A and B are shown apart, each in its own frame.
Chain A
Amino acid sequence: MRRSTNWTLADVLDFEALVAADERADDPQAAARRDAGLWREKIAPDLTPGEDGERAVVFHRWLAARRAGEPLPGTWLTGGWRAFAAGAVFAGLVLGFAVAGGALYYAGARPVNVAVFLAMIVGVQWLFLAWTLVVTLARGLRSAAGRLLVRLGERLGQWLAGAGEHLTGEQRLRLRAETVALRQLAGRNLQLLRWPPWLALQGFGLAWNLGALAALLLRVFFTDVAFGWESTWAESPLGMHTAVRLVAMPWTWFAPDACPTLAQVGHSWFHYQSGVAALDPTATASWWRWLAGVILGYGLLPRALLWLWFWTRLRAALGRVSFDEPRHKAAWQRLMGPVIQGERAHRDNLPSSGTASFAAAPRRAEPGCVLIAAPLGGVRAEIERWVETQFGWQIACVETAEIDFPSGNEAAFARFAAALTGAPRWLIAVPAPFTAFTAFAQFVERLRALGPAVPPAGFFLVVALDADGRATAPAPGWAGYWRDFTQAEMPDCATFSLTP
């Protein structure tokens, strides 16, 4: 279950700002270390068992840990919003009061026209509502409005940056970064940022209606106002009365007084010819309850409903806030570490496998002994021929040996040592590729342990086999690897590559 209900707008914005800042950070390693530390010290200890996989919960803790004392854009942005909304409410009150107060001006010559009054107080609102509906439904207008919001945000940022000319370079840089972050936020959370302006607008509307209502009541209670209606077209007050009743339908069932009767409507029909004197004062006064009802029912109530609706939308959007975007996953990974965490590899010094360059073979007609690694047993003749032509040796003895099994060559070693007494030169033909190097090192040590018959200096010949099992030159990498290995193990020996 997602527990993101405790995220406020400021939280979301701050969180996104921090994530965005981390995305742009010069040293991602440092951010990763910091987050891993926060996880260990501040977040993980407080989590209940089920919560450690909950991004909404974990990120909220992370935000709390990182916020400490730092003013973040979400905080000051929502602070700004609140001030703006309060300003809107105040402006609504003052304007509503002033406009209604003005519209209710009565000097005794002509009664306040209820139609004009309602048009100014309630009608205008409905016009705006209709216009808003058009904007919301027309796609082009809507996206334009969205872009406009982003643009406005940007401008605000630029203006702030401009206003901060006196700031130090560092502060200005920071401010610029914040502006960029804000812009990204607007791009990413447009859905969420859409509701606060609407809420402020409804706040203004609510206050406007309240102001107008206050003005009406004050006028009615403390001054003398006469309400009336005018029409050139109407022939009797019946039509007007029907309209008035219709409008008052929502409340007449519980407040029958809040609607003028047919007689009262008739007696408040104003004509210039007869003037105010012809009107009945109780009839002209009877309208005020109905007017208050209209403001309440057609101004205040819709506003309140709209405000509530936008507020629930904002709540719902906050509840839906998810943490699945790539940037969130990156932050998550910084906290949790990768799923598979590898140790840093430790490398010993290894022989290199560079291209080998070998000295030319010393050509001398001498007797010598040859050991051939078992896998090369099949190309024994070729190896012998190569040693004879390249080294000029007369081969005194050839033995195959298990070079990867140091202690498994007793009989071959005995024969080899015997032959070496008469032909004191040795060569070992080794295969490439080959992998059991420590076994081979032990093999050579065993060979030398045979006694004084084995001279310390000897030769190695690296031989490769092709796909058909014929002897060929080893790959340069393998030749080089063998040379480096033998040089490290037996510095007084020389290594050659077979050349077909």
Chain B
Amino acid sequence: MSAADLPVIAILGDVNHGKSSVVATLAEDDSVGIGAFPTTTCCQRFRVRDLFEFVDTPGFQNAREALRELEEADTHREPLAVFRKFVERHRDDRFFVNECRLLEPVLAGSALLYVVDVSQPLEPRHEAEVKILRLTGSPRIALLNQTGEPRHRGVWEARLRQNFSTVIDFDAHRADFTNRLALLEALATVDLAGKARLRTAIAVLQRDRDEKLDTTARVMIDALADVLTLKQTEALRDPLRVATQRREIEERFREKLSGRETAAHREIVRTFAHRRVVVGDSATPDFLRDGLFVEKTWSVLGLSGWRLVAAGAGGGALVGAKIDLLFGGATWGLGALVGGTVGGGGALAGSHSPPKLTVRVPLFSRALVGAELTAGPVAHDNFPWIVLDRALGVFVSVSRRAHARQDEETLDATALAARLQATRADKDQAWEAVCKALAKTFREMRKGRFDDERRETAVRVLRDWLRVISV
């Protein structure tokens, strides 16, 4: 299919009303030029596979004057011919640079998406813009965007309804995936010629979205499997200075854990193609302030004690993990010393206090030459839930974030918790079942029974849950 046959949708409107923002959100592309001053000067095309194209255009800057010349289209037999003549006449006219450029896709027969900012007043030049678009006779819908208080919404809506078959709300900074699809659906109903393509494109985008959820689920599950079994083992340097080395190992173990976690978070952010979202820098030991092992994290995230018990993740798991460590380590450790980590008490008492990592050196093997110290794995019941919640927080932040947003966002423990709580996901009925399934997964991970088939099952459970909380 050649480029000429592709249905095109042109995004038009006054300067600064958010055309590029709408485009950035639609295309999930945070590199689109957006600014508080006139920014877009040339058309920028975005192609959705080989299905259709949308075009970001420069804003109108001389609409009222242009309308004077275009008005004759009202009675002309072929309205677009008037527009074509206008563009030819003013090709090198510096007073109509933007108009000529933005009319180009219109002349090629595109459908029109008129973006207005209802927090700005409706002025005469907007009336002119609306009229120009009506004169084209092209299929068109209007989007109500808002960059601030929607004070002029009523006025705008009334005027737009007179001139556009469809007027829909689309907040470029808040629109999520369903809003985007709804917009394309609306376009499909208006632009009858491109309808089939748009429907296919919707299916393609949906599949793409599912892929992203699947990727995220896989990244999360792999990270969980990783951190739940992570250990730090080092040769005992000096039996007389065990305490010092113990502290060092503990430190290195924590660093390793947060490093793995941060890498997973980055991967999730990358999956959703956000470059203005920053997750903790693993180079700095920020986990002390903000990471996995601070009271703040543990007090707001993870499962509550009774939830842990309900999910079957309490008590037994803790004891099991401990026994694994104490005996499993001794039998498999090939002369290694046993590293044990003891969580903060039982499921109910200690589910919300961070684990105290301790590196233990059993008496009987202290004298062994070439002995090793081991820190980890973390046996605390709530540990996987904390890790999961933090990852879910990252996911919620990026999967709902519109690509039009220009602010830099740093995801710290508080932000993650707030984001997660805002979804009220734990009130969802499905959450209980998810908890049960994942509790089983975590047990399998800890016991080294986590194989490919179980991984697929866990990925499926988590992916479905991600779909629930992503919109």
A: which residues have CB within 8 A of B? 139-140, 143-144, 190-191, 324-326, 329, 339-343, 345-348, 350-351, 353, 375, 402, 404-408, 433, 435-439, 441-442, 445, 477-478, 481
Contact = CB atoms under 8 A, between A and B. Distances in A.
Interface of B: 14-16, 26-29, 31-33, 35-39, 41-42, 44-49, 59-65, 68, 94-98, 123-125, 204-205, 208, 211, 214-215, 218-219, 267, 271, 328, 332, 447-449, 451-452
Contacts of A407: 65, 68
A481 B38 CA distance: 10
A404 B49 CA distance: 40
Nearest to A437: B61
Contacts of A441: 94-95
B64 A404 contact: yes
A481 B37 contact: yes
Contacts of B62: 404, 406, 436, 438-439, 442
A391 B29 CA distance: 49
A435 B36 contact: no
Contacts of B97: 438
Contacts of A348: 41-42
Given A342-B44, A345-B33, A345-B44, A405 B64 contact: yes
A406 B93 CA distance: 14
Given A340-B28, A402-B124, A350 B64 contact: no
A139 B332 contact: no
Contacts of A340: 26-29, 46-48
Given A340-B28, A340-B29, A343-B44, A329 B64 contact: no
Q: What are the 8 tightest A-B residue pairs by CB atom distance, in nearest-first order?
A: A435-B15, A143-B448, A439-B62, A348-B41, A405-B64, A438-B61, A442-B95, A191-B452
B95 A408 contact: no
Nearest to A324: B214
B95 A439 contact: yes
A477 B38 CA distance: 12
Contacts of B60: 436
B80 to A, nearest CB: 23
Nearest to A340: B27
A347 B33 contact: yes
19 contacts: A324-B218, A339-B49, A339-B204, A340-B47, A341-B46, A342-B46, A343-B45, A343-B46, A345-B42, A347-B33, A350-B39, A405-B124, A406-B95, A433-B16, A436-B15, A438-B98, A439-B125, A477-B36, A478-B37
Contacts of A144: 332
A435 B120 CA distance: 12
A190 B452 contact: yes
Contacts of A436: 15, 60-63, 125
Nearest to A339: B208
Contacts of B32: 342, 345
Nearest to B42: A346
Contacts of B28: 340
Given A140-B332, A346-B41, 19 more contacts: A143-B448, A143-B449, A144-B332, A191-B451, A324-B214, A339-B49, A340-B27, A343-B44, A346-B42, A351-B37, A404-B123, A436-B61, A436-B63, A438-B94, A438-B95, A438-B97, A439-B64, A439-B125, A441-B94
A139 B48 contact: no
A329 B41 CA distance: 35
A406 B63 CA distance: 11
A435 B121 CA distance: 13
A152 to B, nearest CB: 15
Contacts of B125: 404-405, 436, 439
Contacts of B94: 438, 441
A141 B352 CA distance: 34
A340 B201 CA distance: 10
Nearest to A192: B452
A278 B195 CA distance: 100
Nearest to B96: A438
Contact of B31 (A325, A342, A433, A438): A342
Contacts of A339: 48-49, 204-205, 208
A408 B64 contact: yes
Contacts of A351: 37
Contacts of A190: 451-452
B470 to A, nearest CB: 17
Nearest to A189: B452
Nearest to A139: B449
B65 A342 contact: no
A325 B218 contact: yes
A341 B29 CA distance: 9
A405 B65 contact: yes
A435 B16 contact: yes
Nearest to A191: B452
A401 B261 CA distance: 61
Contacts of B39: 350
B6 to A, nearest CB: 12
A175 B328 CA distance: 35
Given A139-B448, A343-B44, A439 B29 contact: no
B98 to A, nearest CB: 6
A339 B47 CA distance: 8
A435 B61 contact: yes
A140 B96 CA distance: 76
Contact of A347 (B26, B37, B41, B45): B41
Contact of B14 (A329, A406, A435): A435
A441 B35 CA distance: 21
B208 A326 contact: no
Contacts of A350: 37-39, 41
Nearest to A433: B16
A345 B59 CA distance: 15
A477 B215 CA distance: 42
B448 to A, nearest CB: 4
Nearest to A439: B62
Contacts of A140: 328, 332, 448
A475 B448 CA distance: 61
Given A348-B41, A439-B61, A439-B64, A329 B211 contact: yes
Contacts of A438: 61-62, 94-98
Contacts of B271: 326
Nearest to B24: A342
A405 B31 CA distance: 34
A272 B389 CA distance: 79
Nearest to B450: A143
A56 to B, nearest CB: 16
Contact of B29 (A324, A325, A342, A353): A342
A284 to B, nearest CB: 50
A353 B39 CA distance: 11
B421 to A, nearest CB: 28
B267 A326 contact: yes
Contacts of B33: 345, 347
Contacts of A433: 16, 36
Nearest to B212: A329
A255 B267 CA distance: 67
B324 to A, nearest CB: 9
Nearest to A404: B125
B37 A406 contact: no
A346 B44 contact: yes
Interface-central residue, A324, A348, A438, by most chain B CB under 10 Å: A438
Contact of B65 (A346, A353, A439): A439
B29 A326 contact: no
A295 B48 CA distance: 66
A332 to B, nearest CB: 9
B246 to A, nearest CB: 26
B208 to A, nearest CB: 5
